Amino acid sequence: DPKSNFIGMDIKGARIWSGARYAVANKLDNVAFIRSRIEFINSFFDRDEINEIWITFPDPQLKRRRNKKRLTGSIFLQMYRQLLVDQGTVHLKTDNKEIFEYTRSLIQFNHFNLLQLTTDLYSSDINGPARDIMTYYENQFLQKGMKIFYLAFTLNHEKEINEPTIE
């Protein structure tokens, strides 16, 4: 989409290099990359500067003591909601059922506006970028016969974000 800007962020230099090489080779002048830890995202963007955030195949951080590292956890969602326009969209694509279910429970607990949800993206009727843009890892998972989970939801500027209590 030449009318939009795309910014990839990752701590891994090799991923940034691959993306930058692709962008240059394909003359994509609306693409940029930031090599940084996601915890510093507020250093790069102002409030209301981003329309959408795509989280594609994150490390699920499944151990309970690592839940503060989950990119769809309440700590990161608090950061994202400051940078997103009000009612901005967060997308999650993953092969991991646990991170998908965790994120779905967070959406339900906080009463976020759920836009789309599927446990099998390529057997669903969802169209558009979620389906049209396939990551390297996604292609690998599909070749192994794995299903791709996808969901999209909006964040409200005013609503506090909380973790569900686990008993």
CA distances in angstroms from 52 to 84, 139, 155, listed in the order given: 7, 23, 10
Q: Tell me the CA distances in angstroms from 38 to 17, 25, 54, 81, 117, one per residue in order.
A: 17, 27, 13, 14, 25
Cβ neighbours of residue 62 under 8 Å, at least 6 residues apart?
Answer: 96, 98, 99
Q: Please list, in sequence order, all residues whose beta carbon lies within 8 angstroms of the beta carbon of residue 123, skipping any fewer than 6 positions away.
A: 147
User: Which of 29, 59, 86, 120 is flagged as catalytic?
Assistant: 59
- Helix, strand, or coil here: 145? coil
Structure tokens at 2: 């030449």
What 3-state class would DSSP assign to 87? strand
Query: What letter represents residue 63's amino acid?
Result: K
- SS3 at position 128: coil
Catalytic site includes residue 48:
no
Give catalytic residue positions: 59
